[in-house]
Structure formats: C-alpha cells, structure tokens
Structure 1
Amino acid sequence: MSALPPAVFLMGPTASGKTALAVELAQRHPVELISVDSALVYRGMDIGTAKPDAATLAVAPHHLIDVIDPTERYSAAQFRADALRLMAEITARGKVPLLVGGTMLYFNALEQGLHDLPSADSAIREQLERDAARLGWPAMHARLAELDPPTAARLSPNDSQRVGRALEIFLVSGRPMSDWLAEQSNERLPYALKKFALLPDDRAVLHERIALRFEQMLADGLVDEVAALRARYRLDPDLPSMRCVGYRQAWQFLDGELDRQGLRDTGVYATRQLAKRQITWLRRQMDEFERVEPGETGRIAAALS
C-alpha cells in the first residue's frame, strides 16, 4: 500500500460531461472537488464558461471557481500553489481531492512540477505585442519557428499567448523554451494519483454537444454578459479572460466585427478546436489514465478509498 494520500484526476475535453460526473461522485463519496479550468477562475464569467450554477455548487462545491477578476491573470504556477494547498487541507479533513477540468496545462503543472522559466519582461512583451499588431501572430509564429522549432511545432500560429511567451523567453534568456522545458523538474505530486478521462470515440457526437451548448449560451445571454463585463471592468481583448473561447467572439460581435450568424459559427468552431487540442493532449497520455464514460462512477469510486 502506498504511504501517500490518494488523489484523483478527472480530465476530458470541453462538453464531454466531466462536471456532471464529478458532481455525482461528490454527492456519493467523501471527496472535495477542485476545478482545473483556466476560465472558471474568473468572477462574472458564468455563461460562456459553462460555470456550474448555484444549485449545483450548493450540493457539490468546487474550489478554484471565482477567484480573480477578469482584469487579472492567473498562471499555472498560481494554480499549482493553490491546488497543493487545497489538496493538503482536503486530505487533513479525511477526504479525497478530486480534480476535474480540461485545462491540461494545469494538470501537467500540478503532476510534473514547474520548470524554472525566465521571469516575464514587460518591455519585451510590449514590443512583441506591437510587432504582432503590425505583422500578425502567424508571422510571429514563423519567427518562433526559426528560433525554437520544437516549440513552434506544438503551438498554433494563432495561439498569441503561448507564441508570445515562447518568443519572450528566447529574447530574455537567449535560449529556446524547448531547452528550458528539457530540464526536468523534480517537484512531483506527493499523492497516490489515479487518473481518469472522458475521451469520446465519436467526435461527431461531441461536436453536436458543443454546437448545442454554444447555442444555449447565446440564448442564455452570453453577449449581454460580455457587455456587462465591459461596462464594469477596464477590459481589452488581449487579456487572457477575453481570449477565452466564446468571449473573444462575443467581443467581436459587440464591436461589429461579426454578425449573429458569424458569432455562432466562429464560437462553435473555436470550441471544437479547443476540444481537438484537449483530445490530442489526452491521446498522447493514453497509457497514463483509464477511460470512463459519462455517468460511469464505479471505477473512480474504487480509487477513492
């Protein structure tokens, strides 16, 4: 028997049914839920993030929901520190931490530890933003491909946040990000970890769920939510909060860059692309987790003891 306390990961692409499964487990077993979602951390961003509603949170509270304002930034390092603190508190209460979500970067940071990457440099970041405004992010991605081919190969040309960070690391340190990441961290997770994933076989079914959910978000007032956020906070479209899927498209709609049909179509497409990235990450880790289906609690429940 492991001397380490148990912990469970429940991963999966967006709209795969993770929350419903986690809530069912929380109602029947001695677990506490920790959200692993880079969008759910923002206050006031409820509709477009598919945030669990008040009734759901009343019966199955989630840690790390509504922790910062949309004007703020929340890093993988902050997530790891918060998650480790919460996991220790949950274990001390005699319960099992069940971490549920689809932000694979957070899962990886928590399990593997963090690399000691160079600190951000605001002057270099501002220059990169100016270059991107003039040239476009695909051109910035091409620049990264010359400086750091392995990192460029795994990033989308339009992933402005990660392309910009990789360029910044090179310009700050003179070394490519791939070199930094090759230096493995020893900060392994001090838990007996069991990992499960909802990984759909039929992509068409997931795509249908994504389309229906995004259409429901629009019907529930996603555009009004973004308009209210813009009125309440000093926001700009380059903030991480406003780059979240759905929020970027609603912002463009409010600025007249998209019509209603364009909002729907680009929002659905962006969500499908997010799911594709999540699935690709999971498929690379197939030997590290057990696949489960929506509503399948038996094997997860067995791992909680």
Structure 2
Amino acid sequence: MAISGIKKSGGQAGEGLVKNAILIAGPTASGKSALALALAERNGGVIVNTDSMQVYSVLDVLTARPTAAELARVPHFLYGHVHPSTAYSTGAWLRDVMKLIDDGTFFERPVGTSVERPVIFVGGTGLYFRALAEGISEMPAIPQSIRDRWRYELQEQGAAKLHRILLREDSAAGMMLKPTDGQRIARALEVLDASGRSILEWQAAHGRPLIDRASTRFFVIEPDRAELVKRIEARFDRMLEKGALDEVRRLAELGLDPDLPAMKAIGVRELQAAMAGELSFPEAIDRAKIATRQYAKRQATWFRHQLGPEWLRLGPGDRVESTILDRLSSAT
C-alpha cells in the first residue's frame, strides 16, 4: 500500500505537513490502540499518541498506555514523555508533533519499500485531533521564572485571589473563567505577564493544520454502549492486577498539586481515597468504573457533535479493520 509520510512545503521549521495521515478517534476502551497497532504492523507504520493522559509517565497502566511489548512492535511517539508535575496542554502536544515533523522522524522508509512510513494518530482527546486538523493559535513562550511565580502565587494565595487580580489586569479574560479554575487563571496571568497581551488575543489568532487534510483519512469508532461498559469494567480489573495501585502510590509520593491534569486521571483520586481509608477498595473501584463510563460517554458525545462529515463513523457490526483497509486501499 503506497502511503507516504510527510509532504514538505518548504525548508523552514514547522512547514511540513503529514500527508496521507490516518486519524483514529474513539472513546476509552473502544479498541482503537489495538487497531492502530495492527494497521501499523501491516503497513510498516508509526503511531502517534493523541490522548492527553497517555502522555504522562508513572501512569503506564492506569492510563491504558501500550505495553512495553506493544511499543516494541512498531515505533510509537509521545507516550509517557511528560512528567506528571507538568501541566501539559493541547498547544504543547501540537508543538511536540511539529518537532517530530521538523526532525524528519516520519521520513524513515521501512526496509524493502520506496515510500515513507504511514503515520497513524490514535487516541481519545478530541481537542488534539481538532488542533492537528485545523491548527490552534500560537502562544508566547513563557520564561520559567514567570511560570514558577504564578504557580507559587496560586499555591500560596489560592484561585479566588488570583482571579481578582486577573479581573483587574485583564477583565475580559477574567470574566471567561470561574474563580475556582486555578490552572487556567494562572495560565492567563502568566501569558499576560510574559507578553503584555491578553490570552484572548493570542487565542483569536488563527493557527495552521499539521496534516494535509485532502489526503488524510479520518475514522471514529462508535462501539455498542453495553459492550463498551463490559470492556471498561474488565479493563479496570486488569489494571489493578497489573499494578495500578503501585502507580497511584508512586504518584502520591511525588507530592503534586491535586489540580494538575495527571492527578485527575480516572482512578487516581478513587484509589488514593481507598489507600487513605476514606473509602473501601470495592467502593473505590466501583466509583472509578463509573467515572470511566461517564468519561467514555462524554467522549462519544463530543465526537458525535464536533467531528465533521469527513470522519467515517464505524459503529456496532462494522468490520472495523477491514473497512479501514478498504478505504485506505481505495485512496491509493
């Protein structure tokens, strides 16, 4: 199958576009990672993580990242490369993808072929897919001293106090945020401090996509709800067997801000509460499974309403892998 990897539009950084990319979205536990792995092995492809929780280290099991054996079967990128102490963002993920493009990471040709490796983006974070396909506004570089200052102020003074500061210095941005949303308030203040411009001005600027939309193939998995619930519950039980409790314990030992994204991974708070004696373990497990089901429902709703007509929707009864292969074959 002739699937090329990158189309270079010039020699400057960030000008490359991924040509003939394959995008696979779906709710958690829908089998999309296994599907991406099968496609990558069949076509000598590479896989790029498009899930906001699987970027974090420590939480290998609890975020359902590919296993070490799976990672060894084909090249995988942007898995577990961010420390949980980092408030990783969509913009940061997009910059990491851009770096992979600019470094020529996807240019390598599989042995015995004359085309670049196919690039498969797979995950459950809708905003990552949107940023990839549509681009997002550029944000200013934030000096570490400024970032540290506002994170310290957030910790010492609290979100409500910083919200009042933001309302005074940038009323429009302040009015867009809840007084309890400490991470976003601190982000707005650090952008204003570093650039002298409101975060709203930066967000209004148009970005650019990193994929060639005309040649990209878009797929979203829409599994049967009842079957998905069974998969979610069985998978969480396997997570516990494979060491999820140890991961949560190691995460707790880092002493991180509970508002950090990694600390909000499903299962972290529930299992921490059980280890602290605040919940029984069976109750914590039930709550984590319920939270996962609710998250999957929100993902499915987002994909249903936010992804456009270019996305091929693969529902119950569809032979997902063969359907995708047929579509890819017809595109060559």
What is the TM-score of this pair, normalised by structure 2?
Answer: 0.71
Counterparts in 2 of 1:148 and 1:230: CA distance versus 1, 3 Å: closer
Moved more, 93-102 or 168-177: 168-177
Query: Identity, % of aligned pairs?
Result: 36
Q: How far is the alpha carbon of 1:208 from its aligned partner?
A: 2.5
Note if contact 1:237-1:251 (Cα within 8 Å) is conserved in structure 2: no
CA deviations 1:231-289 (Å, max 9, x no partner) are 4x443433322221112322232233322123112211221232122112213214130
Supply the AA of the counterpart residue of 2:49. Answer: S
- The aligned residue for residue 222 of structure 2 is 199
Show CA shifts across 1:193-248 (max 9, x none): 22111122x323222221222222223331122113434x4434333222211123
Query: Quick check: 1:43–1:69 contact (8 Å CA) kept in 2?
Result: yes
Comparing 83-92 and 47-56, the one that deviates more: 83-92
Between structure 1 and structure 2, the one with the greater Rg is 2
Q: One-letter code of the match for 1:89?
A: T
How many residue pairs match? The answer is 288
Q: Name the SS for the 2:320 alignment partner.
A: coil
- Contact 2:21 2:119 (C-alpha < 8 Å) held by counterparts: yes
In the other structure, the counterpart of 2:321 is 297
Q: Which amino acid aligns with 2:220?
A: A
1:250 aligns with 2:304: no
Q: Which amino acid is 2:235 matched to? A: R
Segments of structure 2 that go 5 or more residues without pairing to the other structure are: 8-18, 110-115, 162-170
Q: Which residue of 2 aligns with 1:263?
A: 284
**Equivalence map 1:1-305=2 (5 Å):** 4=7, 5-87=19-101, 88-91=104-107, 93=109, 94-117=116-139, 122=147, 161=183, 177=200, 181-185=203-207, 187-191=208-212, 192-200=215-223, 202-231=224-253, 233-282=254-303, 283-292=305-314, 296-301=320-325, 302-303=327-328, 305=332
2:23/2:218 contact within 8 Å kept:
yes
Provide structure 1 residue ranges, at least 5 long, that are not aligned to the other structure. 136-145
Q: Residue 6 of structure 1: CA displacement?
A: 1.1
Give the letter aligned to residue 126 of structure 2: M
Contact 2:93 2:128 in 1 (8 A): yes
Root mean square deviation, CA, Å: 3.6
Moved more, 159-168 or 12-21: 159-168
Distance 1:296 1:258, change over 3 A: same
Greater relative CO (CA pairs within 8 A, separation 6+): 1
SS at match of 1:95: coil
Kept in 2, the 8 Å contact 1:71–1:234? The answer is no
